Chains A and B, each alone.
Chain A
């Protein structure tokens, strides 16, 4: 496949922490096709999360090249634009802003991107519907359960209509019922919207929803199926 057709192409990523003592990525390369749903698996500390954050432009790499949808982001401003338009992020914890309501948390990525308040409000309503949280718009995060918060976080990651979703153990803090709900939601999103997904997970059931598994060990990785 031509690299221009790939959603993500990362080549030779190297990242050291602690002044070079800890190696998180050691020349890792990965290609992700448009619309693919990939599980990033591997032992703790192998570099999965660093890879995920690097693919979102949130890690300053020592060496390596990342191409998103055929274009190599030129710098911080490019990455910021990508996160505001093309790349959505979901984390292990929901990390909703505690001072904002559920609806405002979902609206947050649209502030400064979508000028029309009416459009923003309509999109928030749609996303609340999508994640099964209609009627929760005015609720504060501390009044929601862990599963509900994670669904709001999922809606937030979709606010600007990203074509790539990077998720760092999105079910890691959830019970099995809520985990299943999130997984089904992600699979549905991929099926309906063609969103490319890269999901860090230790959960084999989550990995089973994915097309392929990419295993990261000691900062390098390879597709294992």
Chain B
């Protein structure tokens, strides 16, 4: 038996209380992992989606609260093309819509020949042209989910579109996209001559410095618009920020609740065991060893809760991301670093919450306790 054995034995013998505390920590850590993983996932998925579509710079309406509500004139693209480092630019119209079966999808529209089309990998069929008169390509995951093949029809904005191709890319959003021609989508969404953004692809030799310089010049050229790199735009997106703030808020509340839970458990444990602690002192245990023993108890509870919480949070995040409402829009970003952070937070919570009761318990007068005072 060693000090860890004494602590573990205390926890084993007080099983119900230990399990309830572990449960509290596990729920808090699960909430942290799930919420933070999902919010980071939303940000990463959006950024990756734009990256894989080949956009380096994006120009949106400066007064719009978020990217999807932006309205810019289509002809703005001509001014963007004046920037020397811009290799290609196109107006892009983005909308969220719900298909007839209730599936939420992201609809992207470009003019025929825009650079975005070249970054789509055709798995089957071909790209739409203006002579098709109402054609789209859809992402491979969406096609599988809806059981749609080339030649089938899909209703977008309550209008039938013929699926002429199925496309793939390395991004979950792009695999669930409906991509059509700008003119068709402008008509259907009453946005003739308008786009959500102008997306620009820089020439390969631009590099990071060139990109910053191009952004600066475009900002000077278009002072009434927001010009950003795709990373910056996503990071400052209202939706992403709301998701981030919500995730941290809920996680913080959950973590604080868990701290109070451990504090309560350890305070109760110390109060119930005042005599045991006094006995430990009486048989020659120094205060620091008693404090260490109680900290180990708190640490063990939180470590077990943390490990369970990490596993549960991962499972919850993946389950949520697979639910019909968000499927295809977010891949949880649960990395080893996030799990390590969560575990360390759990451990720190346990230790910090145990410290005050442990120190109080160790400082009590053994004689007074043993004599019943």
Contacts and interface: CB of A to CB of B under 8 A. Distances in A.
A60 B286 CA distance: 16
B1 A156 contact: no
A178 interface: no
Contact of A59 (B14, B285, B286, B367): B367
A155 B6 CA distance: 18
B221 interface: no
A205 interface: no
A117 B10 CA distance: 20
Contacts of B14: 99
B271 interface: no
A50 B365 CA distance: 12
B335 interface: no
Contacts of A97: 276, 279-280
Interface string B62-87: 00000000000000000000000000
Nearest to B371: A49
Interface in B273-322: 275-276, 279-287, 289
Given A53-B371, A111-B2, A112-B289, A85 B366 contact: no
B275 A84 contact: no
Contacts of B365: 58-60
Q: Which of B275, B282, B286 has the most CB of A within 10 A?
A: B282
A109 B275 CA distance: 15
A112 B285 contact: yes
Contacts of A99: 9-10, 12-14
B282 A104 contact: no
B232 interface: no
A75 to B, nearest CB: 12
A113 B284 contact: yes
Interface string B2-22: 110110011011100000000
B268 interface: no
A100 B9 contact: yes
A104 B7 CA distance: 12
A81 B9 contact: no
Contact of B282 (A49, A50, A56): A56
B6 A53 contact: no
Contact of A53 (B5, B275, B289, B370): B370
A74 to B, nearest CB: 15
Interface string A42-70: 00000001100100101110000000000
B66 to A, nearest CB: 56
Interface in A70-106: 76-77, 80-85, 89, 91, 95, 97-100, 104
A195 to B, nearest CB: 16
A83 B9 contact: no
B280 A83 contact: no
- Contact-residue bracket for chain A: 35 or more
Contacts of A58: 281-282, 365-367, 370
Contacts of A108: 1, 6, 280, 283, 285
B370 A95 contact: yes
B367 A84 contact: no
B266 to A, nearest CB: 15
Contacts of A56: 282
A112 B292 CA distance: 12
A111 B3 contact: yes
B371 A160 contact: no
A18 to B, nearest CB: 10
B84 to A, nearest CB: 74
A95 B279 contact: yes
B366 A77 contact: no
Contacts of B367: 50, 53, 58-59
B276 to A, nearest CB: 5
B284 A160 contact: yes
Contacts of B12: 99
A1 B14 CA distance: 52
A120 B1 CA distance: 9
Nearest to B14: A99
A98 B13 contact: yes
B250 to A, nearest CB: 36
Q: Which of B276, B283, B284, B286 has the most CB of A within 10 A?
A: B284
Nearest to A82: B284
Contacts of A95: 275-276, 279, 370
A156 B283 contact: yes
B284 A80 contact: yes
Contacts of B2: 111
A107 interface: yes
Contacts of A117: 1
A49 B371 CA distance: 8
Given A91-B370, A95-B275, A107-B1, A100 B6 contact: yes
A210 interface: no
B284 to A, nearest CB: 3
Nearest to B293: A111
Q: Which of B2, B6, B12, B283 has the most CB of A within 10 A?
A: B283
A112 B282 CA distance: 14
A111 B275 contact: no
B183 to A, nearest CB: 76
13 contacts: A56-B282, A58-B366, A58-B370, A59-B367, A84-B284, A89-B283, A95-B279, A99-B10, A100-B1, A108-B283, A112-B3, A112-B289, A160-B284
Interface of B: 1-3, 5-6, 9-10, 12-14, 275-276, 279-287, 289, 365-367, 370-371, 373
